[in-house]
């Protein structure tokens, strides 16, 4: 069922006060001093899920939860067996993060449903807003915990991962927050990909590309996959600072050489027009024994490599391992990469992306296409075979920091595009 662009924009604009109230309450209830602290499977994330569940109940949506304690707010359709439209994002944050990363996608879904109800849409299929748990992998160093649990694709070993600050297992945290880790371990799933028409996610941009371009929003063209080594190390030998170079087993110099070799590889790929990102998030000597007069015999690092092409990821990892072998032999050290984690490339559905672009044009909203530099729950749905679409909202200061910024006018533009797509496909 189509509505005039002016009607959709007016109905969305009428949601401004509700949208602002939800964002204000989310910020008030999860202060991180500085920034926001919606810790994964902790007090901050729990607060956000209670807040959106209460809002959903007040809005006469059907509220439910699954074994991973994800939250579902459903606007029932006339044909319950028809594949549903699923809208959502995560409600957790990084430590001392911002208020909009993730939460914007949940609030957008709620605003779109409220606007379409006011316009008189009678959906044929269920339209569900999903508040997703545990997208921020910094807490357990595992990607897409909530979404993959719901889809039945979370690796069993992930439940034994430990939260970086509490030391408690993911299974323990899930159970404490009202979930059922044993059901996840058995492979039970809340969501059958065959029963999902599409997964749609609104998210702030994570680098200020739209801000630089002067555009309010973008339609996502792809989500990178990755491989990660969260706790890698290099072992050499602690020596006196006066030890000649030929006798050294210097773990820190090996780490520095490794980082620069990967940076050259990245530069080479970039020059060839191949999108890639390589990040050493942790990079340090052993704090217990390092010092001014000691040659480091132990070095720690974490590594995140992401790209939009599985072949590029595979080739980069192969070349990385060859670099490691060469450094080990020449510098007389040993690399211990530890546990490996990975996430699949998220292929955005071309039809959905095109339809969203068309909707923006009809609504008179300037937009562009933009590849995501970051990982998103949409990628987990794409890997499970669900058609996905994403809309990015302009954000001046990047994300994962207290200065995340989003103009409500820009956000409402994204909600209007989202509502237009739902109206065209839910009836």
Residues at the binding site for Zn(2+) are 90, 101, 136, 203, 400
**Binding site, annotated residues:** 90, 101, 136, 203, 400
Residue 61's nearest CA partner among 48, 73, 77 is 73
- 70 burial (CB, 10 Å; 0-12 / 13-18 / 19+) is buried
Q: Tally the residues of the chain.
A: 427
Q: State whether residue 280 is helix, strand or coil.
A: coil
Residue 310's nearest CA partner among 345, 270, 349, 262 is 345
* CA–CA dist 15, 114 (Å, integer): 8
Phi, psi of 352 (to 5 degrees): -65, -45
Structure tokens at 101: 């990363």
Pairing relationship of beta strands 276-279 and 298-307 according to DSSP bridges: antiparallel
- Provide the β-strand partners of residue 219: 369, 391
* E strand map for 160-281: 196-204, 217-222, 225-235, 239-240, 276-279
Helices (H), 251-371: 251-271, 310-331, 350-362
């Amino acid at each position: 069922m189509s509505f005039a662009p002016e009607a959709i924009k007016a109905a969305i604009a009428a949601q401004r006060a509700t949208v602002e109230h939800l964002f204000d309450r989310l910020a008030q209830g999860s202060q991180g001093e500085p920034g926001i602290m919606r810790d994964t499977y902790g007090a901050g994330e729990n607060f956000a899920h209670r807040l959106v569940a209460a809002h959903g109940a007040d809005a006469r949506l059907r509220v439910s939860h699954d074994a991973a304690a994800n939250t579902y707010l459903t606007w029932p359709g006339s044909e319950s067996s028809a594949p549903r439209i699923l809208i959502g994002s995560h409600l957790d944050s990084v430590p001392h993060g911002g208020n909009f990363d993730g939460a914007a996608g949940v609030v957008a879904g709620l605003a779109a449903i409220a606007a379409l109800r006011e316009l008189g849409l009678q959906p044929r299929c269920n339209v569900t807003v999903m508040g997703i748990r545990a997208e921020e992998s910094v807490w357990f160093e595992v990607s897409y915990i909530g979404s993959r649990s719901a889809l039945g694709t979370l690796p069993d070993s992930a439940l034994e991962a430990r939260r970086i600050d509490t030391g408690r297992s993911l299974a323990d945290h899930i159970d404490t927050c009202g979930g059922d880790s044993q059901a996840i371990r058995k492979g039970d799933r809340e969501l059958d990909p065959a029963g999902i028409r599409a997964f749609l996610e609104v998210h702030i941009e994570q680098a200020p590309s739209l801000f630089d371009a002067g555009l309010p929003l973008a339609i996502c063209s792809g989500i990178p996959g990755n491989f990660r080594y969260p706790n890698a190390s290099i072992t050499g030998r602690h020596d006196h600072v006066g030890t000649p170079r030929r006798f050294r087993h210097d773990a820190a110099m090996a780490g520095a050489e490794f980082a620069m070799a990967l940076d050259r590889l990245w530069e080479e790929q970039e020059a060839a027009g191949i999108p890639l990102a390589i990040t050493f998030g942790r990079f340090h000597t052993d704090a217990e024994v390092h010092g001014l007069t000691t040659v480091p015999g132990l070095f720690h690092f974490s590594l995140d490599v992401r790209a939009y092409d599985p072949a590029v990821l595979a080739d980069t990892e192969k070349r990385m391992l060859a670099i490691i072998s060469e450094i080990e032999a020449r510098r007389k050290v040993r690399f211990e990469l530890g546990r490996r984690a990975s996430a699949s490339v998220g292929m955005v559905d071309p039809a959905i992306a095109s339809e969203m672009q068309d909707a923006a044009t009809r609504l008179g909203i300037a937009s562009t296409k933009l590849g995501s530099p970051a990982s998103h729950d949409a990628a987990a749905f794409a890997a499970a075979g669900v058609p996905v679409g994403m809309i990015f909202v302009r954000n001046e200061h990047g994300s994962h920091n207290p200065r995340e910024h989003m103009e409500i006018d820009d956000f409402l533009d994204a909600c209007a595009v989202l509502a237009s797509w739902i109206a065209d496909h839910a009836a």
